[in-house]
Structure 1
Amino acid sequence: MHRMQETTGGAAPRHAGAQGPRPAAHKIVVVGGGSTYTPELIDGFARLRDVLPVAELVLVDPSAHRLDLVGGLAKRIFARQGHPGAITTTGDLDAALDGADAVLLQLRVGGQAARMQDETWPLECGCVGQETTGAGGLAKALRTVPVVLDIAERVRSIAPDAWIIDFTNPVGIVTRALLKAGHKAVGLCNVAIGFQRKFAALLGTEPSEVHLGHVGLNHLTWETSVRLGGPRGEDVLPALLAEHADAVAADLHLPRAVLDRLGVVPSYYLRYYYAHDEVVRELRTRPSRAAEVAAMEEQLLAMYGDPALDEKPALLARRGGAYYSEAAVDLAAALLGGGGTSAGGRGAGSPHQVVNAFNNGTLPFLPDDAVIEVQAAVGPTGAAPLPVPALDPLYAGLVAQVTAYEDLALDAALRGGRERVFRALLAHPLIGQYAYADALTDQLIAHNREHLAWA
């Protein structure tokens, strides 16, 4: 840990008085603030200051080196855009949480080295190697859930009124852990806002006019409708696919024929299910995404250290997390009483946002405490999923199976043990065979022993 360092973008301290009425400004804490993603988030806070007034933004990270680089750029971004808030960097989580209104989680336990393992050893069994699904996703969940729950308990102790916004993968499992433990938490992913922006561009309209029929689990979703003007507007998905299916399919790396037959738009992650063997062959013959990201992070951190840089670099767009900042600002604003905004392009005043929250009967074939990813009404009391049409059995069956896996995965993350890991792997539709599950269990434990207290 290192001592707290603070600078401002030319602002008075958080609670200093000001002439005339001003909207309440908030203290926001970003855990994992040394991530190379963070400048994207900072840029959003700076641009959208009227949506979510921020008095103090605290970046927390155990790496002093990363904090110095990322925090320095963050301060310059605020200064360039004339943001009146303070940027603070620290390795002391408890000090950071004091007085916090919202806590954003963007952790990677084990760093890129652990991700590299998640994406490689499952391939030895002919299974997809990926950091959020399959065996690699389970490994990430086992490393991550205990750490996140520890952080959440500290939030509950020090800032009990603060909302926790989880962007940490696997978002569905992590959010379910938080909610089942009684924390004020909502999960967030950028898949939906990415589709919204893509569809708006194809349709020649503003993102605020596009309302998605987004349904499923985190990284297992389908766009079943695309309505203009709100949830009761005209569904233009059939026309969009008739005219633009080639472009949409190319983005998803799926044949157009798949979209034609489904009549809906699956998320990119459905390719791991719909074209599993093809993906495995690809992954075996090219550098892993983790290797690409690690190289990119070196470049980004070098850029962040340039004192002349005062905006997010173009290279950051290739890092991932597109539109994360808009989605995060929109969600935080609604949870903190802003009533919904246009930050995510959903229309000023709209309380509807795609989030991860308890099912509570929305999908009747799932338990109430399953965490689903759907449109929800979001406000200071939390996120309440909106009703969705009955889900086609083609999708409902897969959602039910992956929910069962997530239940077993969370049990393994909370209680540990080889047999619980094996059961979760056996239940996952990308694995499913006992010989594979057995071998992958040994591999998972061997590669993650230092992060598993029970191993």
Structure 2
Amino acid sequence: MRLMIAGGGGFRVPLVYRALCAGPFAGLVDELVLFDVDGSRLAAMEAVLRDMPADEGSAPAVVVSTDLGQALTGTDMVFAAIRPGGTAGRITDEQIPLGLGLLGQETTGAGGISYALRSIPHMLELAAAMRRHCPDAWLINFTNPAGMVTEALVPILGRRVIGICDSAGGLVQRAARAAGAPLNEGTLDGVGYYGLNHLGWLYRLAPAGRDLLPGLLSDRVALETMEEGRLFGQHTLEKLGCLPNEYLYYYYQTAQATEAIGQQSETRGTSIHQQQNSLYPSLLQDPHPYRLWDAARRSREEGYLAEARTHGEQRDESDLAGGGYERVALSVMRALSGGGTAQLILNVPNSPVSAPAPAAEVAVPGLPADAVVEVPCQVTPDGALPLPQERPDGPFLTLMQHVKEVERLTIRAVVAGDREAAVQAFAAHPLVGSVPLGRQLLEGYEAAFPELSQLWT
């Protein structure tokens, strides 16, 4: 199998390569093609991969390319993890809303809309190029905001695009371990989870038929062993009656999160930008680039959601080891290529693309059939089939519907060249909630990213 990674100079590429060299995914890929528009970043990642310990017979051949058509030709599977504007763009995504007293975060709120306005056009170009050069290939999308970007691509690629994120699956695994019933990888028996990317809730955990979630929510000691238990606290979780995705911290504790980010000496984007600016040149000079990269990776993981850990709490060791989103992506790839079925939480249309269904047959009742949702799916060579979930409780469904409308306005802004839709997307977001603020946000981002103005017809 030939796998191409769009964004092949990205920081996390070695995680994919490492997983392809050992363990259950070894031998799955014969050729790994790294495509990127930045040749220097490609060279740095190539140096890391060359230095990475691997069994001689299991490591795929690595090809690097800055020619998209060449990289796609003959490809069976495409992973996409691009960041238009780079880490410098992330700083701007965070700082413009902070300057208006709003939450400044990469994928949640105004920063996520800005990121999507830059990402979607490039991802549409990638999807169109796939139709020309490898029409039978699957696209596994990591590009954030993952759910919104995936929904924008469905009209071009149909069921052959699947969005992934490791935060929902990580939540389920942590909850199962805390409840004393760890799940086997690739199975979600008895799991109930519904939501959008970075906006979901685990509402049932019944691997053997009995729901363990109420007991877990009432067990303060068990909750303290998992990230979400420490993040939200037992009182909030018992009141909700479920376990929220960690990104819901930004909705449930907006003022606290905004204040904590504002009090930091630098935003997370600034920290990552500085780290990568010094790291990439060093990778080309250091005699042990893999070791240097891995130390940087661990440092980066330690800073994840730091604004929510205001009392010096440390992340779990299992969360620092790596092995998150790339394992989800490779599990999807293996199942699509006939290596056995898998159950995974993925971003897919609410009902199968090939067979639009009435509302009663959607995976998440209350959301449109063609809306991309994040739910447990059964993955086979035919694609990812969303599994039916319960109708979300009122406040959960209302928030999902609200954010889904924001996502659709953002997509319309790009696809139709509709600037007013972009204003409305910012204004309608629950973390903004004001047309004047929506206009200020868009004007600020247009000044920082001149390419946005080229979108409007």
Residue aligning to 1:366? 367
- Partners of 2:94 and 2:105 within 8 A in 1: yes
246, 269, 284: which is aligned to 1:268?
246
Question: Paired residues, what number?
Answer: 417
Shift of 1:163: 0.1
Separation in structure 2 between the aligned mates of residue 304 and residue 355 of structure 1, nearest angstrom: 33
Query: Against the structure 1 CA distance between its residues 168 and 123, is the aligned structure 2 distance closer, same or farther, given a 3 Å change threshold?
Result: same
Shift of 1:103: 0.2
Residue aligning to 1:410? 411
CA deviations on 1:229-256 (whole Å, 9 max, x unpaired) are 5xxx332112222332234466663233
Residue aligning to 1:355? 346
CA deviations on 1:3-51 (whole Å, 9 max, x unpaired) are xxxxxxxxxxxxxxxxxxxxxxx10000001011111111111124556
Shift of 1:300: 4.4
Residue aligning to 1:317? 298
Structure 1 residue 192 corresponds to structure 2 residue 193: no
Q: Specify the SS of the correspondent of 2:74.
A: coil
Structure 1 residue 259 corresponds to structure 2 residue 237: yes
Pairing 1:221-300 to 2, within 5 Å after superposition:
221-228=200-207, 233-243=209-219, 244-248=222-226, 253-286=231-264, 287-298=266-277, 300=279
Residue aligning to 1:32? 7
Q: Specify the SS of the correspondent of 1:253.
A: helix
Aligned-residue CA RMSD (Å): 2.2
Pairing 1:296-445 to 2, within 5 Å after superposition:
296-298=275-277, 300-301=279-280, 304-305=283-284, 306-310=286-290, 313-320=294-301, 323-340=324-341, 351-360=342-351, 361-445=362-446
- Partners of 2:402 and 2:430 within 8 A in 1: yes
- Partners of 2:378 and 2:385 within 8 A in 1: yes
Separation in structure 1 between the aligned mates of residue 256 and residue 145 of structure 2, nearest angstrom: 23
Separation in structure 1 between the aligned mates of residue 7 and residue 184 of structure 2, nearest angstrom: 30
Shift of 1:452: 4.3
Query: Against the structure 1 CA distance between its residues 252 and 186, is the aligned structure 2 distance closer, same or farther, given a 3 Å change threshold?
Result: farther
Q: Specify the SS of the correspondent of 1:160.
A: coil
Q: TM-score, normalised by structure 2?
A: 0.85
Larger CA deviation: 71-80 vs 124-133:
71-80
Q: Specify the SS of the correspondent of 2:52.
A: helix
Separation in structure 2 between the aligned mates of residue 219 and residue 155 of structure 1, nearest angstrom: 27
Residue aligning to 2:310? none
- Partners of 1:190 and 1:324 within 8 A in 2: yes
Shift of 1:288: 0.5
Structure 1 residue 62 corresponds to structure 2 residue 28: no
CA deviations on 1:85-130 (whole Å, 9 max, x unpaired) are 2011111111111111100000000001110000011112221111
Separation in structure 2 between the aligned mates of residue 318 and residue 252 of structure 1, nearest angstrom: 21
Query: Against the structure 1 CA distance between its residues 81 and 237, is the aligned structure 2 distance closer, same or farther, given a 3 Å change threshold?
Result: farther
- Structure 2, unpaired ranges of 5+: 302-321, 352-361
CA deviations on 1:378-407 (whole Å, 9 max, x unpaired) are 112211110111211121110111111111
Separation in structure 2 between the aligned mates of residue 407 and residue 250 of structure 1, nearest angstrom: 29
Separation in structure 2 between the aligned mates of residue 138 and residue 309 of structure 1, nearest angstrom: 35
- Partners of 1:249 and 1:255 within 8 A in 2: no
Query: Against the structure 1 CA distance between its residues 69 and 30, is the aligned structure 2 distance closer, same or farther, given a 3 Å change threshold?
Result: same
Q: TM-score, normalised by structure 1?
A: 0.86
Q: Specify the SS of the correspondent of 2:218.
A: helix
Residue aligning to 2:90? 115
Q: Match for 1:173: what amino acid?
A: M
- Partners of 2:183 and 2:207 within 8 A in 1: no
Q: Specify the SS of the correspondent of 1:208.
A: coil
Query: Against the structure 1 CA distance between its residues 449 and 157, is the aligned structure 2 distance closer, same or farther, given a 3 Å change threshold?
Result: same
Larger CA deviation: 84-93 vs 442-451:
442-451
